[in-house]
Amino acid sequence: MILTVDIGNTATTMGLYTPEGTLRFRGALKTDKNKTQDQLAIDLLDMFHLYQADIGEVTGGVISSVVPPMTHAMAGAIRQLSGVRPMIVGPGVKTGMNILAEVHNQLGADIVASSVAALQKYPQPIIVIDMGTATTLSYLGNNTYEGCVIIPGVRIAVEALSGRAAELPHISIEEPPSVFGRSTIDAMRSGVLYGNAGMIDSMIQRMEEAAQPAATVVMTGGNAALIQKYCRREIHIDENLLLDGLYYLYQKNQDRRRRRGD
């Protein structure tokens, strides 16, 4: 079994794959950069127990992380429980794609993993949209990562608006009765959902004008389902895109890891 772990700013998501690439389970924990290796080991054991899986069956692991303080603690927890040293996505990892970036290690491991999965699963050119703590749009064509756009995420924007405007309340993100908000809360909800959907539609159009029309637009991330239904562009939701990408990266790098003795 292959354990895939993505440590994001808000949530840490993990998936257990069979050697053939079938997802056995998917689970998520709140990201807490202050947790020790032992605390993370307890979290891992609880997750495996919840989904009736045996961590002793793990034969390989891979981690992507945008929270450096947690990276090595999580890797240590996995090794402590399974005896496996997980691969950490970063410089030197074989991706199978050409990355057009001034500094390769500035490209987030989560973006790399999602892009690798998209190239494996969908026709090119591809626009990959990740609706997480930040919203990112990446353009892929001819097995090349052309670049991306980074925008404040949906919940960050809402929290900033409520926090900086004294008369605007903190709200849950729910469907408004109409695009026309007739209360402060409904107006904010309309702005969040329709506004982000309009932004996504516009950015897709601008990226296509700068390159060529995309054959596939795929969206992933915790806020994907909130926004996709309001977009006018046809967008496919793939909630396991990032975890699938980690599995593919693990498979692509196995020969190299065996030669190094990892």
Which residues are known to be catalytic?
A: 110
How many CB atoms are closer than 10 A to CB 28? 15
Residue 149 in tokens? 């756009």
> Which residues are registered as beta bridge partners of 127?
139, 217
Q: Is the peptide bond before 125 cis (omega within 30 degrees of 0)?
A: yes
Torsion over CA: 241, 10, 131, 101 (sign): negative
Q: What type of residue is 125?
A: P
Residue of 60, 62, 64 lying closest to 111 (CA atoms): 64
The span from the CA of 245 to the CA of 110, in Å, is 9
The span from the CA of 12 to the CA of 4, in Å, is 11
**DSSP-based three-state secondary structure for 126:** strand
Residue 82 in tokens? 């399974």
Residue of 239, 234, 248, 236 lying closest to 221 (CA atoms): 239
